[in-house]
Amino acid sequence: MKKKNIISFDNYLSKEDKILIQILIELVLVEDVGEGDITTKATINPKVLSMARLIAKQSGIISGLPLIPLVLKCKTKKYKLRLKVKEGIKVHPDQVIADITAPAHVLLIIERVLLNFLQHLSGIATLTAQYVEAVKPYKVDILDTRKTTPLLRLLEKYAVHVGGGVNHRYGLYDQILIKDNHIKIAGGIENAILRARRKYPGMPIEVETKTLNEVRRAMFFHPEIILLDNMSPKMLRQAVKIVKHKALTEASGGIHLKNIRQIAATGVDRISIGALTHSAPALDLSLKII
């Protein structure tokens, strides 16, 4: 499900999505705070106000800023947020991202939860941007996958979007993707495609292929997308010639920053990379009371 190419939390997410994210934040705070932050209760006067500064400790693409007020609202209505950068901007070491004024005990309670979200999402956006930059000379989209952290899919795919990537399907419900196990159980590519077409007419069908022969067999039934799984650059070029732009071609498997440009040069339309969400290193950020 491809979302609008606008770096806007409000435009990207539906009302239902936002409700789910708010519930997620509340659950994460329960996980971390439990019955109460006993260290803060023991040392901090709840009437004291403080200012905290969110600072970048390394270069990267910032993502997740719209979560700051959502996290704060779970613990207080008395806060002031001053963003110093926009969502999706590249930040540099020691750059101030935001100033937050709130009750001191609230800042201490939300610190780790807020940083966990922002560091993780910014890491995904940063890695995605690196892949997008690497294939800039070619007309190819960089896609994410369903290899996401349980319950964080909406936010992780949003971070991919912020980094300039394109979202693949969100779940098992919004696109047909016939993979090797479906093919085995259905009794072949032909049976799988025909059954899918009968059951969901009009729904785009993507078929996973591992050999050029499978590409030829799949194309006989006119799927909208051909997934080219773990193919060498030479095989990818041959597969693109077989498809002849009668379907979108998507390369996947064994793709990393060192070979992404070579993969893009084969002429495929899309490259899907699970590492965008399951292996992105967190961007180093800090929240300091000033």
Annotated active-site residue 153? The verdict is: no
Which member of 206, 229, 250, 269 is catalytic?
A: 229
Which member of 147, 197, 216, 217 is catalytic?
A: 147
Q: Are 252 and 206 in contact (CB under 8 A)?
A: no
Alpha-carbon distance of 209 to 50, in angstroms, equals 57
Residue 238 sits at φ, ψ, to 5 deg, of: -65, -40
Annotated active-site residue 237? The verdict is: no
Q: 272: helix, coil or strand?
A: strand
Residue 9 sits at φ, ψ, to 5 deg, of: -60, -45
Which member of 80, 82, 136, 179 is catalytic?
A: 179
Write down the residue that tokens 């729904």 correspond to: 203
In the structure encoding, which two tokens stand for residue 163, read together? Answer: 């980094």
Which member of 111, 208, 250, 269 is catalytic?
A: 208
- Any alpha helices (H) in 34-65, and if so which ranges? 38-43
Strand partners, 240: none
Annotated active-site residue 229? The verdict is: yes
How far does CA 227 lie from the centroid of its chain? 20
Which member of 90, 112, 195, 197 is catalytic?
A: 112
**Catalytic residue set:** 112, 147, 179, 208, 229
